C-alpha cells in the first residue's frame, strides 16, 4: 500500500528566514516528467487553513510538502467502471442508474474504501488534506481555486454549484470535468470548488494549535474536500472541511481523484 508523505509544519515567522538564509547559487532543478492526466505540484511550503472560516479550519498555518502529482480531473464513471470490471466489483448505484451511459462524468456514490481501492488499483493513492488544499489554492492563500472573487461575478458562474441550478435549471447537476474551465487552480487542476466533493486520505482531527472541540474528532472518520453541485457559495472555499459522519458514507455529490508521489 502506498505510504503517505511526511508533512512538516513551518511557523510563518520562520518561513521567511528559512527561505532568505538558504544561501548558495540558485539551482534549476530538472523539470519533472509529464504523467498523462496528472498535474505536478512542486515541493515547498503553502498556507493551509483559514482564520476567518469555520472553527475547524483554524488556525491558518504553513505546511511543507514534497512534490507530487494529482489527477487533473475527478475520476470518471468510465474509469471507475473499468476498475470494477477488472476487480470483480459492483459499480455504485448511481453509475448503474442515473449515470448510466455517461462515462465522461465524475463518478459519485462511492465509499471511502471504494475510492481508496480504485486509487491503489491505478497505482496511486488518495490525497491527504494538505495535498488536496495545496493543489487547489497554490501558495498565495486564496479563497477559491481561481482567486478571491466570489463564485458568481462578471456575469457568469465560475463553478458548478447550487446557484447554477437556481439561475439556469437546465444545467445538469454533474458536468464533465472541463465544463467549467474557470474552476481551475493555479496549477491547472480542475473542479476543486464545485461539481463533486472529493474524498481524502486524512481523518478528521484538529489542526495543530486549534482549541476547537468537535465530537467527531478522533473517530477515524475521513475528510471530504471541495464543494459540489449541492453547495452554497460559502462552501466552495478551498479551506472548508467536510466529514463523513458515519462509516460506509456515500452520497450522490461525493467522488474523488488520486495522487502519486513525485519526489522533490
Residue 133, phi then psi, degrees to nearest 5? -70, -40
Selected residue with higher pLDDT from 13 and 192? 192
pTM of the prediction?
Answer: 0.83
Check pLDDT > 50 for residue 31.
yes
Confidence of residue 27 (pLDDT cuts 50, 70, 90): low
Give the distance from CA 39 to its chain's centroid: 13
- Vertex 235: Cα angle to 234 and 237 (nearest 5): 80
Which fold does the domain 8-20+31-261 belong to in CATH?
3.90.1580
pLDDT at position 11: 47
Considering 40-49, 147-156, 170-179, 191-200, the range whose residues carry the highest mean pLDDT is 40-49
42-46, 150-154, 249-253: which has the minimum mean pLDDT? 150-154
Q: Please give the mean pLDDT across all residues of the chain.
A: 83
Q: What whole-number distance in Å separates Cα of residue 184 and Cα of residue 72?
A: 9
Q: pLDDT-derived band of residue 100, with 50, 70 and 90 as boundaries?
A: low
Would you state the cell numbers that stand for residue 21, as one nine-digit string?
A: 538564509
Beta bridge partners of 260: 69
- pLDDT score of 114: 95
SS3 245: coil
pLDDT for 40-56, tens place per residue? 999 999 999 999 999 99
* In contact, 85 and 95? CB cutoff 8 Å: no
- Give me 50's grid cell: 483559514
Q: Report whether 227 contacts 193 (CB < 8 A).
A: yes
CB 189 within 8 Å of CB 136:
yes
Name the residue with higher pLDDT: 139 or 183: 139
For residue 181, which of 165, 197, 158 has the smallest C-alpha distance? 158
pLDDT of residue 97 exceeding 70, the answer is no
Residue ranges per domain, the chain? 8-20+31-261
Give the pLDDT band of residue 103 (cuts 50, 70, 90).
confident
Average pLDDT of 110-128? 97
In DSSP notation, 61-87 reads: EEEEE--EEEESSPPBHHHHHHHHHHH
Mind listing the pLDDT tens digit for each residue in 54-84?
Answer: 999 999 999 999 999 999 999 999 999 999 9
Residue 170 has a pLDDT of 41
pLDDT band of residue 96 (cuts 50, 70, 90) is low
Amino acid at each position: 500500500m502506498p505510504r503517505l508523505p511526511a508533512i512538516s509544519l513551518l511557523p510563518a515567522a520562520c518561513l521567511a528566514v528559512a527561505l532568505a538564509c538558504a544561501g548558495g547559487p540558485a539551482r534549476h532543478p530538472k523539470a519533472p516528467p509529464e504523467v498523462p492526466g496528472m498535474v505536478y505540484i512542486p515541493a515547498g511550503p503553502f498556507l493551509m487553513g483559514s482564520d476567518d472560516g469555520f472553527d475547524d479550519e483554524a488556525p491558518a498555518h504553513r505546511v511543507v510538502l514534497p512534490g507530487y502529482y494529482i489527477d487533473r480531473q475527478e475520476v470518471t464513471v468510465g474509469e471507475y467502471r473499468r476498475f470494477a470490471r477488472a476487480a470483480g466489483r459492483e459499480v455504485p448505484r448511481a453509475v448503474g442508474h442515473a449515470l448510466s451511459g455517461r462515462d465522461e462524468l465524475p463518478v459519485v456514490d462511492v465509499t471511502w474504501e471504494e475510492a481508496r481501492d480504485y486509487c491503489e488499483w491505478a497505482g496511486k493513492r488518495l490525497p491527504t488534506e494538505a495535498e488536496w488544499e495545496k493543489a487547489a489554492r497554490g501558495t498565495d492563500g486564496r479563497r477559491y481555486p481561481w482567486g478571491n472573487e466570489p463564485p458568481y461575478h462578471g456575469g457568469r458562474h465560475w463553478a458548478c454549484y447550487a446557484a447554477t441550478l437556481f439561475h439556469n435549471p437546465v444545467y445538469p447537476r454533474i458536468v464533465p470535468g472541463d465544463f467549467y474551465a474557470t474552476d481551475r487552480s493555479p496549477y491547472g487542476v480542475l473542479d476543486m470548488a464545485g461539481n463533486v466533493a472529493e474524498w481524502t486520505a486524512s481523518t478528521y482531527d484538529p489542526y495543530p494549535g486549534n482549541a476547537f472541540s468537535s465530537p467527531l474528532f478522533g473517530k477515524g472518520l475521513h475528510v471530504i474536500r471541495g464543494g459540489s453541485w449541492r453547495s452554497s457559495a460559502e462552501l466552495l472555499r478551498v479551506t472548508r472541511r467536510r466529514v463523513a459522519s458515519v462509516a460506509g458514507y456515500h452520497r450522490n455529490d461525493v467522488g474523488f481523484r488520486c495522487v502519486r508521489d513525485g519526489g522533490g
